Structure formats: structure tokens, C-alpha cells
């Protein structure tokens, strides 16, 4: 792969955990013409709540004479605290203080949006979570503004239902745009996270009245993600610009064989982290030099919910539905449990239907065993000698490994790569336990965290550039 003019270099970074940090670092490396051969991200144990540090280890291949230039440009990023390279056989570390980096971040968050350049597409992305609303503004592929708006639970509870939170969240987004000096007329499109729609093919969908009607239904409006498309449309319509969703959680490309369960009326559904899984699959395919449409991959998104998908030639032909209780247990969900004890609990008279749903989807898994869904707290418990906490985390990794093995069988044992992504992938203990069991199946890569905002913008940008045609929701 390399030539006499190229060399593989090991680069270590200490960074502040900020939305998009991974994409920004990788983007700098790629723009300098380097290839990324290995990437590992792990949360640093000494990180405290105010700094939240992570370390990155990256093996890059390129012209050795340009390494200093790459290091200098990476260190100029507001979220990078230090970079360590090897020069003339010696480790060289360039650094700035955490305080200086935090000050740069604060300055970055307070600056006004730049004027839009000619030929640039400006895209607003919106991703509502249960207690937060993430929004960002992109000029083509570059994030010029990123904001996470935190909502206190008391504030949200006053609204009533999830749908009734719409106005509050929209006003927060519009205030953010105004404070940042983003002219509404400069927007070319708005993208919102899709909710529980009808099963659809992967792609970028123009938000229409049919989609909005389905999102307002009782079945779709059980999660805040439904508000992404609704708010996006309300912002876009007065501006006379299009609004889109990209790879919503209901993307369904499953094979027929994967649908049946053995109990008629309970066929398996495709509900998973489609946006991040598809984006990571495309990124990994680029790294290994194989088009996504020609690749056979297993992508495991490790977050509050865990989904493991078998990607065959650009389609996810099987994946567990974590929302319905399939697959490994997670920080919040039970995953698959024995059916008979569960049935007995449902008919014991001790729990209501909603209480049982909550036990499976919100209060199960690691949270039920250890009283927290925060991996950092669990890791501290383990470091303090809590053997049961170690057993719970290791068991979760064990179950993820089993699911990856199952997806290897789905792909007939022919797998180009296994990828771990999502927040839990920051844990070296978790990823290491999985790697120990599955790395003989295929090379394993770790892309910790998620960058769904970048994925939203990327899907819309492909449509605006004419590289893809927007799909129609029917």
C-alpha cells in the first residue's frame, strides 16, 4: 500500500469531548492527503465532568515530510489539547492547557456565523433527544455552528406530551440561530432526525404531509426523534426551502428469512440506528478502499440502545430491534429475555402495562443491575473494586459479541470488517472484551461516539449536489 515516499505514523491526541470532534480531526488528516489505517478513541479515566477528555490513537500513512504540517493544523482545532508524534526516533508532544482549549471552545460558541460563500449550500440540522435538542449549521461538509440545547425535565413536563414540546424546542433553535447571526434567508435546506415512520428504504426523504401526518400519530410520537422532521418542516416552509430526513430509524432492508419469529403476529421489525450505522459503514468502506455497495460489514452501535447490523452490499439485511427488546442488554434496555418468566411478570398483577414497557425499554439492563446508565460511573465502580459492576459490563460485552457472531452467520462468514461505534465504544474495557471474542471473524475497527449531525448534513448535501435523488415517502 505504501511506497518509498510514504510512511505509517502513529499519532496520539488528547481532545475535549465535543460534538463533531472526530470528524474534524479526520477531515484535517484527509485534506492533507494521508490515509487512516487505524483509529481508536477512548475516554480518559482522569477526565472530570468539567473537561471530559478523550484520547485518540491514529495510525496514518502519507508523506513523512508533511507530518509536522498535519500536527500543527490539528493542534489549531479548539477541541484538541495535545498531539504526540514521533520525529527522528523521539516522541514529540505539542500541547495547550485544558483551560486554553475550553476558552477557545467558548469563543467558538459565541462567534457569529460567517457569511455564506458563493456556491456553498447551507444546511440546518436538527436532532431532538429525550432531554436535549442538538442543532448545527453546515456550509457544505463543514460545521460552522454546533449547539446542544439542554432542557430540564420540569420544563418538558409542563408541555405535556412529546408533540407538545414542539414549540418550545423550535423557539430554542430559532434563538440559537439569531444569537449566532445566521440569516434565515441563507439556509438552503433543513434536515431533521426521522421518527417511527412506516418501514422504508434507506435514503434522503423529502418531508411531505404524509410523513408529517404519520409522525403526529400516537405510535410515532412516543420518542422525541419524531419532532426532528416536524420542526424542520415548520422552519423550512416559510423560507421556501426543502426539508428532509435521512436514514430514519425505520429503514427496512431485511431479508425475508430474517422476518419470521415462530410466533405468527410477532414478525421482526427493522428499527435501529440507521443514520449512524449507514454513515459509519460508508466511512469505513472508504478507509478500506472498497465501495459500500461492494462491502460486507458488521456494524455495532453501542449506546443507550445497542443495535448490530449485517451490511451486505449497501443493504442492512438483518439487525436486532433494540426498542422491542431484541439483542444484547444495554445501559437502559433488557435486550432479549426468556419469554416465560416475562409472561409471568406481565400477569402477576404487580405491574401495569406501561410499567413493564418502561422496565424493558428505559429501566432495564445496566441501569436495573447497577442503578445507573452512565458508563463513566460504572467504570469508576469497577476501578474501586466492585466485582459485580465488572460482571455486568463484561456480560454486556459478551452479549454484543454473540450478536456479532450471529451476524457473521447471516453474512455466511464472509465479512470485510467489524465496526464498533456509539458512546460505549469509548470504553477500552468494553471494546477490548468484544475484540477478544470476534477479531478472528474479521478485522475490527472502533469509531467511538456518533456524528449523526454530520450524517444528516451529508445526506442532504448529496441531494442538493445532484448526486442522489430525494426519495418520496408514501
Please check whether residue 272 lies inside any domain of the structure: no
> Residue 460 belongs to a domain with what CATH number?
3.30.420.40
Residue 66 has pLDDT above 70, yes or no: no
Same-domain status, 376 and 289: yes
Q: How many domains does the chain have?
A: 3
Same-domain status, 56 and 123: no
Higher pLDDT, 352 or 160: 352
Same-domain status, 94 and 189: no
Is the separation of the CB atoms in 444 and 299 below 8 Å?
no
> Residue 79 belongs to a domain with what CATH number?
3.30.70.260
CA distance 138 to 121: 8
- Give the per-residue pLDDT at 1: 41
Is the separation of the CB atoms in 99 and 418 below 8 Å?
no
Same-domain status, 297 and 250: no
Which segments of 223-380 are extended strands (E)? 243-246, 296-302, 306-312, 315-319
Please check whether residue 30 lies inside any domain of the structure: yes
Same-domain status, 99 and 151: no
- Give the per-residue pLDDT at 382: 93
C-alpha cell read off for 466:
445532484
Q: What is the dihedral of CA 290, 293, 296, 297, to 10 degrees?
A: 90
The length of the chain is: 474
Please check whether residue 195 lies inside any domain of the structure: yes
Residue 51 has pLDDT above 50, yes or no: no
Q: What is the average pLDDT across 203-230?
A: 87
Please check whether residue 296 lies inside any domain of the structure: yes
Q: What is the average pLDDT across 97-114?
A: 56
- The closest of 280, 261, 267, 336 to 306, measured between CA atoms, is 336
Which of the four pLDDT bands, split at 50, 70 and 90, describes residue 2? very low
The pLDDT tens digits for 398-452 are 999 999 999 999 999 999 999 999 888 888 899 999 999 999 999 999 988 777 8
Which of the four pLDDT bands, split at 50, 70 and 90, describes residue 16? confident
Please check whether residue 274 lies inside any domain of the structure: no
Q: What is the average pLDDT across 57-64?
A: 72
Report the interhelical angle of 428-438 vs 387-410 (nearest 10°). 40
Element (H, E) at 39: strand 35-43
Q: What is the average pLDDT across 215-239?
A: 87
The pLDDT tens digits for 342-360 are 999 999 999 999 999 989 9
Same-domain status, 298 and 443: yes
Question: How confident is the prediction for the chain on average, in pLDDT?
Answer: 86
| Residue 330 vs residues 16, 22, 326, 374: alpha-carbon distances, Å | 26, 24, 10, 11
Same-domain status, 210 and 229: yes
Same-domain status, 11 and 123: no
Please check whether residue 343 lies inside any domain of the structure: yes
Same-domain status, 296 and 372: yes
C-alpha cell read off for 141:
461538509
- Give the per-residue pLDDT at 298: 98
Same-domain status, 26 and 147: no
Lowest mean pLDDT among 2-11, 108-117, 326-335, 364-373: 2-11
- Give the per-residue pLDDT at 431: 92
Same-domain status, 418 and 286: yes
Same-domain status, 292 and 396: yes
Please check whether residue 33 lies inside any domain of the structure: yes
Domain that holds residue 205: 114-254+453-472
CA distance 138 to 123: 5
Q: Map residue 322 onto helix, strand or coil.
A: helix
Please check whether residue 246 lies inside any domain of the structure: yes
Is the separation of the CB atoms in 260 and 209 below 8 Å?
no
Amino acid at each position: 500500500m505504501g511506497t518509498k515516499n510514504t510512511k505509517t505514523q502513529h499519532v496520539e491526541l488528547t481532545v475535549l469531548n465535543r460534538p463533531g470532534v472526530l470528524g474534524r480531526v479526520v477531515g484535517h488528516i484527509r485534506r492533507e492527503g494521508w490515509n487512516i489505517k487505524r483509529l481508536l478513541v477512548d475516554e480518559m479515566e482522569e477526565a472530570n465532568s468539567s473537561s471530559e477528555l478523550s484520547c485518540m490513537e491514529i495510525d496514518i500513512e502519507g508523506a513523512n515530510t508533511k507530518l509536522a504540517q498535519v500536527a500543527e493544523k490539528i493542534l489549531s482545532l479548539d477541541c484538541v489539547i495535545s498531539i504526540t508524534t514521533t520525529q527522528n526516533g523521539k516522541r514529540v508532544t505539542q500541547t495547550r492547557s485544558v483551560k486554553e482549549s475550553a476558552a477557545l471552545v467558548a469563543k467558538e460558541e459565541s462567534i457569529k456565523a460567517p457569511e455564506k460563500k458563493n456556491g456553498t449550500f447551507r444546511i440546518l440540522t436538527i436532532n431532538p433527544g429525550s432531554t436535549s435538542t442538538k442543532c448545527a449549521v453546515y456550509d457544505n461538509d463543514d460545521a460552522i455552528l454546533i449547539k446542544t440545547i439542554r432542557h430540564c425535565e420540569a420544563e418538558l413536563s409542563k408541555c405535556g406530551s412529546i408533540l407538545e414540546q414542539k414549540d418550545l424546542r423550535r423557539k430554542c433553535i430559532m434563538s440559537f440561530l439569531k444569537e449566532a447571526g445566521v440569516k434565515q434567508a441563507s439556509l438552503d435546506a433543513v434536515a431533521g432526525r426521522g421518527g417511527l415512520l412506516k418501514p422504508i428504504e434507506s435514503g434522503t426523504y423529502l418531508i411531505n404531509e404524509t410523513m408529517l401526518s404519520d409522525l403526529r400519530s400516537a405510535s410515532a410520537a412516543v420518542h422525541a426523534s419524531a419532532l426532528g422532521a416536524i420542526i424542520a418542516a415548520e422552519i423550512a416552509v416559510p423560507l421556501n426551502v426543502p426539508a428532509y430526513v435521512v436514514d430514519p430509524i425505520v429503514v427496512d432492508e431485511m431479508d425475508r428469512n430474517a422476518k419470521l419469529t415462530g410466533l405468527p403476529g410477532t414478525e421482526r421489525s427493522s428499527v435501529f440506528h440507521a443514520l449512524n450505522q449507514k454513515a459509519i459503514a460508508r466511512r469505513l468502506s472508504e478507509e478500506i478502499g472498497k465501495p459500500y455497495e461492494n462491502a460486507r460489514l458488521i456494524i455495532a452501535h453501542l449506546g443507550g440502545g445497542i443495535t448490530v447490523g449485517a451490511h451486505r452490499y449497501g443493504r442492512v439485511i438483518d439487525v436486532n430491534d433494540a426498542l422491542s427488546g431484541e439483542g444484547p442488554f444495554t445501559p437502559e434496555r433488557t435486550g432479549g429475555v426468556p419469554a416465560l418468566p416475562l409472561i409471568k411478570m406481565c400477569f402477576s398483577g404487580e405491574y401495569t402495562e406501561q410499567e413493564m414497557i418502561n422496565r424493558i425499554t428505559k429501566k432495564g439492563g445496566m441501569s436495573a443491575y447497577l442503578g445507573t446508565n452512565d458508563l463513566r460511573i460504572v467504570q469508576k465502580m469497577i476501578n474501586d473494586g466492585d466485582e459485580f459492576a465488572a460482571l455486568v459490563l463484561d456480560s454486556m460485552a459478551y452479549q454484543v459479541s454473540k450478536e456479532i457472531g450471529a451476524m457473521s452467520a447471516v453474512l455466511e462468514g464472509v465479512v470485510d470488517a467489524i465496526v464498533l461505534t456509539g458512546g460505549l465504544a469509548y470504553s477500552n474495557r468494553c471494546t477490548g472484551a468484544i475484540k477478544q471474542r470476534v477479531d478472528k471473524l474479521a478485522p475490527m475497527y472502533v469509531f467511538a461516539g456518533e456524528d449523526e449531525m454530520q450524517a444528516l448534513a451529508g445526506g442532504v448535501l448529496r441531494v442538493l449536489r445532484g448526486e442522489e435523488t430525494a426519495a418520496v415517502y408514501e
